[in-house]
Structure 1
Amino acid sequence: MSELLINIQLGIWVLIVVSTVAILARRIKLPYTLGLIFMGLIISFFQLNQYVGLTVTKELLTQIAPEIFFTIFLPGLLFEGAMNLGTEDLFENIKSISAFAIIGVLLSVFVAGSVLHFILNVPWNISLLIAAMIVPTDPIAVLSIFKKQGVPKKLAVLLEGESLFNDGTGIVIFRVILGLILTGTFSLGQGVLEFIKVVLGGLIIGLFLGYLISKIISKIEDNFIQITLTTILAYGSFLVAEHMHLSGVISVVVSGLIVGELGIKKLSAESKLEIKSFWTYAGFLLNSFVFLLIGLELNVQNLLIYFIPIVIAFIAVLFGRAISMYFISHIINKVDDSKLVTTFDEYIPLEWQHVLVWGGLHGGLSMVLALSLPSTNMLLVQWRPFIITTVFGVVFMSLLLQGTTISFLLIFLGISKKKEIEYNYDLEQARQYMYMSAEKELESMKKSRMISKKLYSQYLKVQRDSIKKTERKLAKLIDKHPSLKEEQVKEIENTILMSHKNALIEGYKKGHFSKEVMNELIKEVNHKLVQKNEH
């Protein structure tokens, strides 16, 4: 079988596995990324790859150049997050986010690397390399929990903004340390200058290309061309910066922010929906491939062999993040920074600091960095099993322990606004459902003549009285908490608009009206959908 057909077959099987995991994860309410990790481990442990067309996966992984992992996965993953983050909210918290993403990451890498070096006796260069790979955060799962529980918007912006930029800082540190390992020479002064050069250079390229593509996109009305241009921007900004030996990661993030603010915001509702849908799917697919590939790459036995180092590494990274977050937050809260950069005197409550520490989950980026390690250096080849297993283990523990307990922390700290209200509302809805089901059962018993009319009337009254009682309680809750009504109204209106859209498609298929009429009305519906979801 040709190499091309093997790659196509591999891609199809990966998509099948990804879809299966997504369905199962939703059914059992397991975080999707955790499901992918489990699936990768299962396939690897039981050697199922020989049965599902993945026999060549490990060979392919060793043959693929490290730069390919950077070029394929990083731009797409970073661009999608940057494009959807509002610059207005980001700018209001830019001082805190910048401090966390630059000083915080440097401090976290040093602390975590030191713990690994002194406790596990790992060489300095390897311990710092591992720390730089794991420290960047990926809070997608946490942000979805934030949204459900009504966490203050500023806290969500802090976590998401810090994550977006600490990816760039972490990768720059990773590449500096990797360069040290590959060349065997390093100068602190030269390293600092190199760091500043690649970051500023990437920033300038991202600003220029983001602005240029934004101007072009705003003058084009074709959705497919707009999507194509954003794809060119994501990967082009990365490649241009890398070609000039600057930070492709910073370039991608900045270009994504610029095009999201100056380009996409000015487009029609239909274009916004199309572009957002495309990049949401691209992010989902890239993340899925990364998590599955790392599971397949891993030797499951190594997880048991390196269990203690994994636990120590997890604690070390968490300890490093805690020190950096609490220290920087303390400085920010003590200093009046209202005259620095912005007019906002930023303040981070202690409860929020706890959430920022525990909510810093690790994910896809750490996996990409692990897969990108070159196999040409003897030191890296020697330490590769340890590095891959440790990174995977820490990400796994992060998703399992932090990802599944963050909601409880929010409730414990009193940050979640919606939980108690929603619980009471769900409780009354469940009671109403229970009584209505009983009413239907009574009706069924009456029709089958299992009970007399007198008993039917007697028990029917009890159920209907209970239904009325729950309806009154639900009405009181809605009156007392307008947010419940707002959510219901939003859900109803979205459902109605989607039914309008489906009806238009159905009507066109049946020949009730022309395609032009359908497209015109669908544009109107899409515009309303975007308006509803932006407010």
Structure 2
Amino acid sequence: MVETIALVLGGLVVVMAANAVAQRSGLPASVLLVVAGIAYGFLPGMNLPLDPHVVLYVVIPPLLYAAALESSLTALRNNARTVIGLSVGLVLATALIVGAGLNAVVATIPLAVGIAIGAAVAPPDPVAALSIGRRAGLSPRLITLVEGEGLLNDATALTILQVAVAAAVSGSFSVGHAVGQFLLVAAGGLACGAIAALLIARVRALITDPLIDNVLSLATPFAVYLVAEELHTSGVLAVVVAGLWLGHRSPSLQSSRARLQTRAVWHLVEFLLEGYVFVLIGQQLPAVIRGLSAYSTGTIVSAAAVTVGIVLLVRPLWLLVSAHLPARMHARLGGDPQGGNPPLSGRELLALSWAGTRGVITLAAAFTLPATTPARDLLLFCAYLVVLVTLIGQGLTFAPLVRRLNLPGTQVTRALTRNQARAAAVRAALERLTELSDADPELQPVITPLRRAAEARHKRYTDRVTLLSSIEDETLPVNGHYHAALHARREMIAAEREELLAWRDAGRLSDADMRILERELDHEESILPAPQA
């Protein structure tokens, strides 16, 4: 027990240190954590083995749910055809081609077993790609596609894996049965997620305590996943559907206090789980290598080269072919004649093809292969190598690639949209003030200062819209007066906080009242933009 606690605390130190180094150096935290895990794995002492059931039931549900809460249901709906093509078609194609390739180069690997490991290595894990891409300036549209693919592809991969393993065990395979089972599992997952979201929304409408609301939020992904799996449907898909719908309805379901707490809690959960997962991935290397002693070097190299090569080549080929299919087949990547989305450019296709980093779901799926599976240790090594190559290789090169591509529609477009929305929101507030004033003229002394402040905000936002609309490149303008004002306001808040501390230390202010006033300052400071580096 003591060793386990020490190992967990040591992992926490590694996670914090890796993220601190990543912020200072610009290197991806995921890569640093995997390398740290590999280094620790070869040291003497206790190691944490990767239990696939713990990963599938404890790690994956909250990570998927947190990602779904922050995703855009509207954007995913507008790009539904593209996302489905990536999360279903591409995963299926990768699984089949990897299976055929392994069966061709290693005679002891049956086709069904090869497809099973192909399903394990097929789904990209967008955590690393998105964390890198957002900092590098990946466009909102590409972020939506990567997010949507990552949310839905796990369900496809795990279903294909289950069908392939069942075929390998029974020795028979029926295409009709496999397709029917896949559709049944997917439909069941969608239904479970939708019903769970509706029930949870009704419960949330009765909750006024933010702490209870947060407890319900933390329990939701585990409960939804468990119920869906017990009904033999897709737990992954159920969690994603519930998270997308509840995140979309959050403005009307939660109070402002509950929303602030929920976001903070889930950011912490994501930070810790993702950190530990990457360290755990690295720690598995020694165990995976030990299982290769029964295979010749030629067999290992052939199997690994086929698996990694197919994974790296199928994705860009799929994107390229999809982009040039006839529009009437609705497969023109990113193009939706009904939704008005234009096709992705060549630069965007290249960035999207390099956003295929694999993660813990690949290893968890591979480790679920039965112990009697032919060449199981070799297949585990192939899956692990795919994770290492994509996480480290693509992880280190993704940000430089995105910057070099100079993708359009990033910072300036988003800043323009935000300021247009701010101006529209303030106009709505001013109209509401007018309604209140007309209904009760006695409120005029209260409304007048509120109107002046709102009008000043509206002018600031509209001036910013005018400036951003005139920019032809993708460089955000720097406003010296604006940043000076932000600096001055932070200094004011610091002075206020110091005065409150002086009152508390002198005994003129109780700690309970101090926390109330401090929370007011914290909220005000939290909405200020981050200081410039």
- Coarse TM-score class (shorter-chain normalised): 0.7 to 0.9
Choose which of 8, 12, 15 in structure 2 pairs with 1:11.
8
Contact 1:74/1:368 (<8 A) preserved: no
* Residue 186 (structure 2) pairs with residue 199 (structure 1): yes
- 1:349 CA drift (Å): 2.3
Query: What is the distance in 1 between the residues matched to 2:328 and 2:508?
Result: 67
Q: Which amino acid aligns with 1:395?
A: V
SS at match of 1:262: helix
1:396 aligns with 2:422: no
* TM-score, normalised by the number of residues in structure 2: 0.75
Whether 1:40 aligns to 2:37 is yes
Q: Percent identity, aligned pairs only? A: 25
In the alignment, structure 1 residue 322 sits paired with structure 2 residue 319: no
Contact 1:501 1:525 in 2 (8 A): no
Which of 215, 223, 226 in structure 1 is aligned with 2:213?
Answer: 226
Paired residue secondary structure (2:151)? helix
Say yes or no: does 1:111 pair with 2:87: no
2:364 is aligned with 1:378 = no
Contact 2:210-2:258 within 8 A present in 1 as well: yes
Match of 1:406 in 2: 398
SS in 1 for 2:358: coil
Answer yes or no: is 1:167 the counterpart of 2:161.
no
Are 1:281 and 2:262 matched, yes or no? no
> Using a 3 Å threshold, how does the CA distance of structure 1 residues 483 and 397 change in structure 2: closer, same or farther?
same
> What is the aligned partner in structure 2 of residue 123 from structure 1?
110
Match of 1:310 in 2: 304
Alpha carbons of structure 1 residues 242 and 350: separation in structure 2 relative to 1, 3 Å: same
**Compared CA separation, residues 266 and 8, structure 1 to 2 (3 A):** same
Give, in angstroms, the shift of residue 111 of structure 1: 2.3
Q: 1:212-271: CA deviations, max 9, x gaps?
A: 223333443333222211121110000000000000000011111111111356534443
SS in 2 for 1:82: helix
| CA distance in structure 2 between the partners assigned to 1:268 and 1:145 by the alignment | 32
Q: Does the CA-based 8 Å contact 1:214-1:258 persist in structure 2?
A: no
State whether structure 2 residue 374 is matched by structure 1 residue 366.
no
Secondary structure of 2:324's counterpart equals: helix
Which amino acid is the alignment partner of residue 85 of structure 2? A
Label 1:491 to 1:312 Cα distance change in 2 as closer, same or farther (>3 A): farther
CA deviations 1:460-518 (Å, max 9, x no partner) are: xxxxxxxxxxxxxxxxxx99977233799589749956984895598265466563575
User: Normalising to structure 1: TM-score of the pair?
Assistant: 0.74
Aligned position for 1:253? 240
Deviations 1:257-288 (A, max 9, x none): 11111135653444333222222222232233
Structure 2 counterpart of 1:344: 340
Measure the CA separation in 2 of the matches of 1:272 and 1:479: 37
- The match for 2:476 is 483
Displacement of 1:416 in angstroms is 5.9
- CA drift of 1:128 comes to 1.3
Query: Quick one: distance in 2 between partners of 1:498 and 1:373?
Result: 59
Q: Give the Cα–Cα distance (whole angstroms) in 2 for the partners of residues 342 and 480 of structure 1.
A: 29
Shift of 1:345: 5.1
Q: Are the equivalent residues in 1 in contact too, given 2:486–2:528 (CA < 8 A)?
A: no
> How many Å apart are 1:91 and its aligned residue?
1.6
CA RMSD of aligned residues (A): 3.8
Residues 525/482 of structure 1: CA separation in 2 closer, same or farther (3 Å cut) = farther
Q: 1:501·1:522 contact (CA, 8 Å) conserved in 2? A: no
Q: Does residue 97 in structure 1 map to residue 120 in structure 2?
A: no
Cα distance 1:8–1:279, how it changes in 2: closer, same or farther (>3 A)? same
Structure 1 residue 27, shift from structure 2 partner:
4.7
TM-superposition CA deviations, 1:375-424 (whole Å, max 9, x none): xx412xx53322222222111111222222223333443316789xxxxx
